[in-house]
Amino acid sequence: MSTRQAHSDAARIDPHSKTRTTGHEWDGIEELDTPLPRWWVITFYATILWSIGYFLAYPALPTLSGGTQGLIGWHSRASVARDMEQLSEIRGPVLERLANAPLEEIEARPQLLSAVRALGAAAFANNCAGCHGAGAQGAKGYPNLNDDDWLWGGKLADIRRTIEHGVRWDADKETRSETMPAFGRDGMLDAKQISIVADQVRAMAKLPGGIATAQGAKLFDDNCSVCHGVDGKGNHDMGAPNLTDALWLFGSDKETISSRIANGGGGVMPAWKDRLDEPTIKALTIYVHTLGGGE
């Protein structure tokens, strides 16, 4: 069987339908050249006319320094601004209630709580998730905010202060600035002493392989207990973690602990006071507090 396409001079009038054919033929099957209804074609031209009007009315043509502005003055930024305005109008009553409610009372008011948690979740995704993770699960060096282990305190006021002023954020005078000294690098302890303290800390945390020694206890007492406490339970005022619990921000193996003792320092968190408005900070505080670990 051969497939061939005849020349268009083979066009003829089909006797059954009285319609012209295109002259194309495939194995004896011919194609009718049924004309379009004229209004259909007019509709097509109307869409072209519409596009010209649209082109003139709206920003369309890019130029070297921007683009044509359109005759009706529509602007995507203005459109977004209008949408945002509508949104804040809708949020208005909730934000007002949020502004008027003391931080401690919000969680006892179900409707306000669910609105505030929604606001907080959105703000968290925008501002916090970058370091703390989408579910606030944290990562090595970035605290998990779902647990009940807090460096700087897990009460509402503590959380709020941490959000507002950040941690070791020099641009903010009220930032939480306490830092672990670099005992090794600054020559306060030598490598052997660091190893002994690391073993001592692991023993206090009841980690397998931890070795408690008299020398270790003395070194800990002399160097660490000021911030971490005599019993190693930490101190929120100093941002000093509890060394006896199950959670380790950087890791609990001896190498990591030794490295932390030798190099000191700690994580940094920006201050948000000047970047987020009061209701957002309040909402974030509630959101973080209600993740589960709030004190």
Partner 1 sequence: MTSADMGKAKSGSLYAPRKTIYPKEVEGEFRRIKWWLLAFTLSVYYLLPFVRWDRGPDAPSQAVLVDFLHRRFYFFFIEIWPQEVYYLTGLLILAALTLFLMNALAGRIWCGYLCPQTVWTDLYLSAERWIEGDARERARKDAGPRTAKIWREKIAKHALWLLIAWWTGGAWVLYFADAPTLVYALATFQPGISEAYIWIGILTFTTYMLAGHMREQVCLYMCPWPRIQAALTDEYALNVTYRYDRGEPRMSLKQASALRLAGAPAGDCVDCGQCVAVCPTGVDIRKGASLGCVQCGLCIDACDAVMAKIGRSARLIAYDTQMNCERRRKGEAPVYKPLRARTIIYAALIVAIAGLMSAKLATREDARLSVLHDRNPLAVTLADGSIRNAYTIRFANMSAEPRRFLLETSGVEGAEVEIVGVEPDAEGRMIVGVGADQTRETRVLVTWRGARRAKGQTPILFTSKELESDASVTMRDVFVTP
Residues in contact with partner 1 by the rule CB under 8 A: 17-20, 32-41, 107-110, 113-114, 117, 133-135, 137, 144, 146-149, 242, 245-247, 290-293
Residue 199 DSSP label? H
Q: How far is the CB of 40 from partner 1 (least distance, A)?
A: 7
Q: How far is the CB of 167 from partner 1 (least distance, A)?
A: 19
Q: Measuring CA to CA, how many Å separate 44 from each of 40, 47, 52, 126? A: 6, 5, 13, 45
Nearer to partner 1, 41 or 212 (CB): 41
Q: How far is the CB of 215 from partner 1 (least distance, A)?
A: 28
What lies within 8 Å, CB to CB, of 40 at 6+ separation is none
Q: How far is the CB of 78 from partner 1 (least distance, A)?
A: 18
Q: How far is the CB of 274 from partner 1 (least distance, A)?
A: 30
Nearer to partner 1, 115 or 261 (CB): 115
Tokens coding 140: 């090595």
CA–CA gap between residue 106 and residue 290 (Å, rounded) = 11
Nearer to partner 1, 196 or 288 (CB): 288
Nearer to partner 1, 18 or 192 (CB): 18
Nearer to partner 1, 84 or 90 (CB): 90
Query: With 0-12 CB in 10 A as exposed, 13-18 as middle and 19+ as buried, what is 183?
Result: buried
Please name which of 248, 19, 30 lies closest in space to residue 142, comparing C-alpha atoms: 248
Nearer to partner 1, 143 or 166 (CB): 143
**97-135 burial code (b ≥16 CB/10 A, e <16):** bbeebebeebbeeeebbebbbebbbebbeebbeeebbee
Q: Are 89 and 255 in contact (CB under 8 A)?
A: no
Q: How far is the CB of 138 from partner 1 (least distance, A)?
A: 8
DSSP result, 138-156: -BTTB--SSSS--SS--SH
